[in-house]
Every structure is written in structure tokens, then in C-alpha cells.
């Protein structure tokens, strides 16, 4: 029965895809050729003959590529779709040329002539879908992007074989049309939307109003971007997922329609009801299908459709009732509003709610939601499957198709972290689960551009039937490709990282990167980590040892900086422990020494080394936000959105430091002053013999935090100083002093 339901879902989607014509094969091939030119330059791209042939996947219907030629001839890359051809091109670059494509910069030294493929190599993915994005990625990573940056990302997606992805830009512009048509005033609409950096939560009904309003120019620019994004995704044969109505409405709807039946939901994320407690329309209210279909009709009129729609009614939101009949009605209403406009609609649902509030979502509540939509028409993202899979305890989502997703990252934090063993085993185990309805793999981080090794593995698993057999060998070759040359010390460093920071398992992974460095100081900070810190320090030593050979590799310099950053993060924990112990034992001299190193030496040194790399600059981060603006007033709004997101998150530190980043400028002007204030407060407490008062400190430190957010100070957007030189200085100073002691 389950298999049949999945077949139905796939049937619908394949039907939609079958509508693509021979002309689309040519269009998709052209898109991949253009990608190759962007990636390799026109001269080297000409060494590849790319074609798209649907017939390649005739038997399985699953994306397939085939590679042949090379040597004296051109390399022939054939794919059953544009995405499949792009994935084939990437496979060739990776496995035959030792190249590496990454967010932090690619290593694309192609051999002359191109290596021959000795025997035609044909590969079919076992997964119907390779999905990408989390609703939150839109806010934590993509928010300020222009087309040039989107283009790079869509190229990255195609090369990694992604064929299903959110395309959620510009939806507020459509909602604005709908609300105005319903009779809301412009100021009511403006009051409803959040600022750009918080739209992800506005869209899920968690927030409204906060950090807004959205300027007119924002809507125009996002509409423009969304058209280009969709056009490019479709040109590769990807399926973009559009948003749909989930049931949340602005309060002002009740002014226009006084008899409308809405329920005010509870607050979210420590925000008060000025910014949260959104209004949910009752599923039986006749306005539900009306608003839902008005939106979808207007959206698809503007953008066309590929028949998959995302909507999340209860994401981190407690439903007003736990009655299964209510939950079923609320779910069915969303789906019915979809099919009223698009009879072929498939609903993509984030399964996050089920694992986020397991006490609410008992078996009958989960069943009510999953069974309210016809089998095969609800496609569930098992969003955090590497850590808290839901398919195992819901009989494979009650027979609804699901995608095994790796979430990995929260808030775009920088700390080194990964559960590579669990990720490696997860998808294959999910496919073998009894009566499994798994139809794909997914990459669903809240923020990107960190811990690239984890994403490289997950992307590869999208095309593998079995786990990677030997992860040690895999990371060793990953390092070789990344730096363009296999180096024994770099390989050894990566194997140490694999067995430590990248081998998290179970509960230990949940609190990752809550390092004292990026947290508001207190005497209660938890310094426990799931790995042996010595492994990080030793990896640091080995990378420095490899520096004379590898220093010209941009990816190596990035990693050297990233591991230096991590080592400093570890050192901050160690000095913090020492300072805390000294304080508790009332040893003022030791407190001043250890605390002084932390606040006045280590953090400034970290800031200086981060400042050497354009990928770790607060200045660039904020400039990106300002560059998205059309006036100085907008630039100020966007910059403040960005500063809030990095630090206080809400007006009162509502989700304090959740989206922390280790950027030059942020360390010097935000994390450092906090630690200095803390150290002074502790020293003062010992000197005067009065107890340290956390509550008083919190009040004082909030002023510093707020001052940072409200400041308009400019930061450099150009790197300064030499990474290797400064990393070495930190190493020479601290490795013998602290590290050797703990080794």
C-alpha cells in the first residue's frame, strides 16, 4: 500500500516532468554548458561535450549520467536532465581531475589534456529527489543576495545534483497584492511583515512586525530575483518549490472581516505579542479557501508552477487544540486551497514540528496530520534525520513519501561540527527501513558557508546506494582535492578532525557551538565538548606544518584560519575554566592572569587573524546588507536587521546569540567587550568582598550589546595582514603554554 502511494506521488510529479519536451533537453544542455563556462572559463569548457537525453533514465526514471572520452578527445557528459549532466560534470572534475567546488572557493586546476575515462561510466542515483534548503536558510544566508550570488548558488546546486529546492523570494510582494485586494490598507500590510532578516519566521507565523517594514524597493527587487532564480532553476530541470497559504493572517484581516473566525496563537521565541502570537484562520471558515486560492492563483500567475508547494502551519507553534479532528481539518484546509488552484499540487511539509514538540505530537496527532492529505500528495522533509529521525517512529510517515534530510547547522554558526558517521549511514538505513517511503535525500542547514566537508559528504550520498565505505580515506582524499595536492600532514590533520569535531553522535550534538566565546558570560557556562580537544590542537599543529607547501591554496588558508579559530575557541574555554575556578577560590591574581589572557590577548588575537580573510569580515557581512538597499534610510534598516540577527535577535536579546558568527569586528566590538566587563565584575567582586550578581551584570552587558546593534560604525571590507603569519604567532604563544600541558 505504501509503495503504491509513493508511486502515486511520483506519478504526479513525473507526469509534470514528462510534460517537458525535446526542446527542454536542448535548453537544459545549454544551461549546463553555460555553467561549465562560468566554472572553467570558455576555453576549458570547450573540452566538454554536454548533452541531455531523457532516454538515459528510461528504465528507472531516476536521474542518470554517463561519462566517456577525454584524453585526445573531448569529455562526453550525458545526463537524463540538466541536473544529472551537471552532477556528471562534477563527478568527472572531482574523481578524474581531483578538483573541488566549494563555498569558500573552488580548486579547479584541470590537467592537460583532460584525463581519459577508460570505460564509459554510467551512474544512476537511487534517490528520486535531492533536496536543498531550510526555510531559515533564506534569512540566515540568502537574505541580502544579489543575482550574481544566487547564480553561483544555483550552479553549486546543479553540480551537486540538487533537483528540488525552495524558491521563496518575492512572496511578500504577492501577499501584499492579496491583502490590498482584500481591503487592508498599505500601512496595515507594512505593519505585518517583518524586516528582511526575519522573513523566514514571518512566513511560518512565528513572528510579524519585528524589524520591519519592508520598503517598496525590497518587493520589486525580490520579484526580479525570483523570476531569474526560477528561470535558472528550471533551465537545469530542477523543480522549484513555491510557497502556499498555511493559515496565518494579519490581525487587520479581522478589521475588514469582523466575523472571520481566527484564533490567536501563543508567543514564540521569547517575543511578546507585539511581534508574535499570530492569528490563525479557522479551517472551516469560508475565508480559508478564498485567501489560500487568491494567493496561489496570484503567485502562479506571476511565476508559473512546477506543482510542489511548501507550507508550515504549526512549525514551533502550539496548535490551539490537540484534538485529532481539529488537526486533520487544519491540514486538509491547506491542501484543499492548493488543489483548488492546482489540481496536481503536492505539499512539501517540514517534519520539524513532530520532533521539536514531541510531547504535543503524540501518535494520534501525527496521524491526524499525515492522513489528512491523500497518500502520495504530502511530501515530508524528515528535517533533522541525522540526529532525530521521525520516520522510524511514524511508520515511515504513515505511508507518505519523505526525504531524509541532514540539517546540520543552526543559525549559521561557525564552530567546527559534524556527525559524519551518522550522516554517512543514515540515508541507506532509511531506504532499508521496513516499507520505507523514502524518496530522496536533503541538505537543510539553517545557514551555509561553514563546515564544508559535511555538505560535500551529504551531496555525494545523494548519488550513492551505500554509505562511503571508509570515511578516513574519504576525508584524506577530500583534503587532497581541496588543496590541489595530497599532503601527509594535511591528511593526518583531517583524520584527527574526523574522529573529533566531525564525529559527534547523539545528544552531545544538540548543544554544539554554544562555546563560551560567543555566549554572554556567566559563571555557569558549559565547556563540555564531545571530542578530545587535543585532537583539534594537534590538527592545528599539522596544518601549520603543511603551510610551506600549501600556503598558496585559498582553501588551505581558509581551513588554516578556521582551525586556528577553533583552537582559539577551545583556548577560551580553558582560560574561562581557569578564571572561574580562581574566582570560586577567591584567588584574585590567578583570576586576573587567566581572565586577562582571555579578554585582552586571545580575543584580540582572534580578531586580528580573522581580519586577514575576506570570508571572515563583519565589514563585508554588513556591507552586503547595505548594498541591497536603494537609499541611505534603507541601508540603515538593513544594517540594523543584520546586526540584530547576529546578536540580540530580538529587541531584548530574545534569542540571544543564536546566530552567532566569528567575524573580525564582531569579536573585537561585541564578544571582547562583554568578556572584559565580566572579568572586571568578577575582579571587583573579589576585591570588594561582595558576591558577583549575574542579574546586575546582565543588565549592564545588555547595554553593551544594544550599543553594538545601534552603532553605525563602519568596518573594513578588505582583509588586512597575513593569515599564516598571525596563525603561527598565536600557535607559538599558546601551543606550548596551554596546549602542551593538556596534550
Task: Write out the residues near ligand NAG by the rule CB under 6 A.
Answer: 1, 261, 272-274, 282-284, 421, 434-435, 471, 498-499, 503, 505, 508, 511, 526, 528, 532, 534, 651-652, 743
300 or 398: CB nearest ligand NAG: 398
d(CA 571, CA 577) in angstroms, rounded, equals 10
Q: Which is nearer to ligand NAG, 69 or 418 (CB)?
A: 418
Closest separation in Å from C-beta 421 to ligand NAG: 5
Nearest approach, Cβ of residue 242 and ligand NAG (Å): 26
CB of 433 to ligand NAG, least distance (A): 9
Q: How far is the CB of 7 from ligand NAG (least distance, A)?
A: 14
Instruction: Please check whether residue 553 is in contact with residue 107, taking contact to mean a CB–CB distance below 8 angstroms.
Output: yes
Which residue pairs, CB below 8 angstroms and at least 24 apart, start in 176-182? 176/219, 177/298, 178/291, 178/294, 178/295, 178/298, 179/250, 179/252, 179/253, 181/294, 182/253, 182/256, 182/291, 182/294
Buried-exposed string 181-196: b where 16+ CB fall within 10 A, e elsewhere: ebebeeebbbbbbbbb
| Residue (399 or 719) nearer to ligand NAG, CB | 399
Euclidean distance between CA atoms 312 and 310, whole angstroms:
7
CB of 323 to ligand NAG, least distance (A): 9
The Cα 46–Cα 296 span in angstroms is 42
* Residue with Cβ nearer ligand NAG (528 or 718): 528
Q: Where are the alpha helices (DSSP H) in 372-413?
A: 395-398
Distance CA 289, CA 338 (A): 8
Q: Which DSSP letter does residue 107 get?
A: B
CB atoms within 10 A of CB 628: 21
- Best CA proximity match to 524, nearest among 460, 595, 580, 454: 580
Question: Taking the complex as a whole, how short is the minimal distance between the CB of residue 439 and ligand NAG, in angstroms?
Answer: 17
Grid coordinates standing for 657?
546569540
Using the minimum distance from each CB to ligand NAG, give the nearer residue, 528 or 552: 528
Q: Which is nearer to ligand NAG, 42 or 511 (CB)?
A: 511
Rounded Cα distance between 441 and 423, Å, is 11
Q: Residues of 481-513 as b/e, b for ≥16 C-beta within 10 angstroms?
A: bbbbbebebbbbbbbbbbbbbbbbeeeebeebb
Cell match 530580538: residue?
650
User: Quick one: 322 or 534, whose CB is closer to ligand NAG?
Assistant: 534
Residue 99 neighbours by CB under 8 Å, 6+ apart = 93, 106, 107, 108, 109, 110, 481
As measured in angstroms, the least distance from the Cβ of 284 to ligand NAG is 6
User: Which of 434/691 has CB closer to ligand NAG?
Assistant: 434
Instruction: Find the shortest distance in angstroms from Cβ 327 to ligand NAG.
Output: 10
Q: Give min distance, CB of 641 to ligand NAG, in A.
A: 16
Please identify, using beta-carbon distances, which residue of 253 and 550 lies nearer to ligand NAG: 253
Between 566 and 624, name the residue whose CB sits nearer to ligand NAG: 566
Dist. CA 407–CA 388, nearest whole Å:
10
Give the shortest CB-564-to-ligand NAG separation in angstroms: 19
Amino acid at each position: 500500500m505504501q509503495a503504491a502511494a509513493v508511486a502515486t506521488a511520483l506519478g504526479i510529479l513525473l507526469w509534470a516532468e514528462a510534460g517537458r519536451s525535446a526542446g527542454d533537453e536542448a535548453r537544459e544542455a545549454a544551461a549546463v554548458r553555460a555553467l561549465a563556462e562560468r566554472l572553467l572559463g570558455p576555453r576549458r569548457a570547450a573540452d566538454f561535450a554536454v548533452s541531455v537525453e531523457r532516454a538515459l533514465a528510461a528504465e528507472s526514471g531516476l536521474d542518470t549520467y554517463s561519462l566517456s572520452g577525454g584524453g585526445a578527445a573531448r569529455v562526453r557528459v550525458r545526463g537524463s536532465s540538466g541536473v544529472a549532466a551537471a552532477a556528471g560534470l562534477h563527478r568527472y572534475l572531482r574523481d578524474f581531475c581531483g578538483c573541488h567546488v566549494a563555498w569558500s572557493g573552488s580548486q579547479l586546476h584541470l590537467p592537460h589534456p583532460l584525463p581519459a575515462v577508460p570505460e564509459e561510466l554510467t551512474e544512476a542515483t537511487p534517490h528520486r529527489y535531492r533536496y536543498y534548503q531550510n526555510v531559515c536558510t533564506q534569512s540566515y544566508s540568502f537574505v541580502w543576495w544579489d543575482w550574481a550570488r544566487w547564480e553561483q548558488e544555483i550552479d553549486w546546486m546543479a553540480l551537486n545534483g540538487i533537483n528540488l529546492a525552495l524558491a521563496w523570494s518575492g512572496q511578500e510582494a504577492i501577499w501584499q497584492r492579496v491583502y490590498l485586494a482584500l481591503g487592508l490598507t498599505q500601512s496595515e500590510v507594512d505593519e505585518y511583515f517583518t524586516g528582511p532578516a526575519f522573513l523566514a519566521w514571518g512566513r511560518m507565523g512565528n513572528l510579524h512586525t519585528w524589524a520591519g517594514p519592508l520598503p517598496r524597493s525590497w518587493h520589486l527587487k525580490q520579484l526580479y530575483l525570483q523570476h531569474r532564480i526560477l528561470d535558472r532553476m528550471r533551465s537545469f530541470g530542477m523543480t522549484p518549490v513555491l510557497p502556499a497559504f498555511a493559515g496565518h493572517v494579519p490581525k487587520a484581516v479581522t478589521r475588514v472581516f469582523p466575523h472571520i473566525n481566527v484564533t490567536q496563537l501563543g508567543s514564540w521565541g521569547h517575543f511578546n505579542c507585539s511581534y508574535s502570537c499570530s492569528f490563525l484562520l479557522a479551517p472551516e471558515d469560508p475565508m480559508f479557501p478564498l485567501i489560500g486560492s487568491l494567493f496561489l492563483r496570484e503567485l502562479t500567475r506571476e511565476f508559473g508552477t512546477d506543482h510542489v508547494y511548501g507550507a508550515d502551519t504549526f512549525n514551533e507553534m502550539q496548535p490551539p487544540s490537540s484534538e485529532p479532528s481539529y488537526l486533520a481539518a487544519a491540514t486538509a484546509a491547506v491542501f484543499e486551497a492548493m488543489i483548488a488552484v492546482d489540481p496536481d499540487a503536492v505539499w512539501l511539509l517540514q517534519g520539524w514540528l513532530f520532533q521539536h514538540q514531541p510531547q504535543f505530537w503524540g501518535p494520534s496527532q501525527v496521524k491526524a496530520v499525515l492522513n489528512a492529505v491523500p497518500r502520495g500528495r504530502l511530501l515530508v522533509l524528515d528535517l533533522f534525520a541525522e540526529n532525530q529521525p521521525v520516520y522510524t517512529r511514524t511508520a515511515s510517515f504513515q505511508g507518505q513519501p519523505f526525504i531524509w534530510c541532514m540539517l546540520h547547522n543552526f543559525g549559521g554558526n561557525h564552530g567546527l561540527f559534524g556527525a559524519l558517521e551518522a550522516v554517512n549511514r543514515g540515508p541507506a538505513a532509511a531506504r532499508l527501513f521496513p516499507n520505507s517511503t523514502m524518496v530522496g535525500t536533503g541538505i537543510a542547514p539553517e545557514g551555509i558557508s561553514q563546515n564544508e566537508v559535511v555538505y560535500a559528504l551529504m551531496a555525494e550520498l545523494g548519488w550513492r546506494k551505500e554509505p562511503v565505505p571508509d570515511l578516513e580515506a574519504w576525508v584524506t582524499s577530500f583534503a587532497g582535492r581541496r588543496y590541489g595536492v595530497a599532503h601527509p600532514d594535511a591528511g593526518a590533520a583531517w583524520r584527527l578532525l574526523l574522529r573529533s569535531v566531525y564525529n559527534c553522535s547523539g545528544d552531545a550534538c544538540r548543544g554544539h557551538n554554544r562555546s563560551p566565546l560567543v555566549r554572554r558570560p556567566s559563571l555557569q557556562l558549559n565547556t563540555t565538548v564531545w571530542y578530545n580537544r587535543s585532537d583539534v590542537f594537534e590538527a592545528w599543529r599539522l596544518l601549520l606544518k603543511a603551510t610551506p607547501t600549501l600556503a598558496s591554496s585559498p582553501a588551505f588558508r581558509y581551513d588554516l584560519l578556521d582551525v586556528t579559530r577553533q583552537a582559539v575557541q577551545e583556548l577560551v574555554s580553558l582560560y574561562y575554566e581557569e578564571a572561574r575556578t580562581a574566582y570560586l577560590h577567591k584567588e584574585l591574581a590567578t583570576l586576573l592572569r587567566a581572565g586577562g589572557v582571555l579578554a585582552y590577548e586571545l580575543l584580540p588575537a582572534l580578531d586580528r587573524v580573522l581580519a586577514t580573510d575576506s570570508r571572515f569580515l563583519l565589514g563585508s557581512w554588513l556591507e552586503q546588507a547595505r548594498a541591497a538597499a536603494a537609499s541611505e534610510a534603507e541601508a540603515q534598516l538593513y544594517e540594523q536587521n543584520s546586526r540584530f540577527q547576529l546578536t540580540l535577535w530580538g529587541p531584548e536579546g530574545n534569542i540571544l546569540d543564536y546566530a552567532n558568527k566569528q567575524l573580525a569586528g564582531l569579536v573585537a566590538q561585541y564578544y571582547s567587550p562583554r568578556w572584559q566587563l565580566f572579568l572586571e565584575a568578577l575582579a571587583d567582586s573579589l576585591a570588594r568582598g561582595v558576591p558577583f550578581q549575574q542579574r546586575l551584570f546582565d543588565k549592564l552587558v545588555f547595554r553593551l550589546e544594544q550599543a553594538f546593534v545601534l552603532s553605525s560604525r563602519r568596518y573594513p571590507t578588505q582583509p588586512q595582514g597575513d593569515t599564516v603569519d598571525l596563525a603561527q604567532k598565536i600557535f607559538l604563544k599558546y601551543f606550548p603554554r596551554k596546549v602542551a600541558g593538556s596534550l
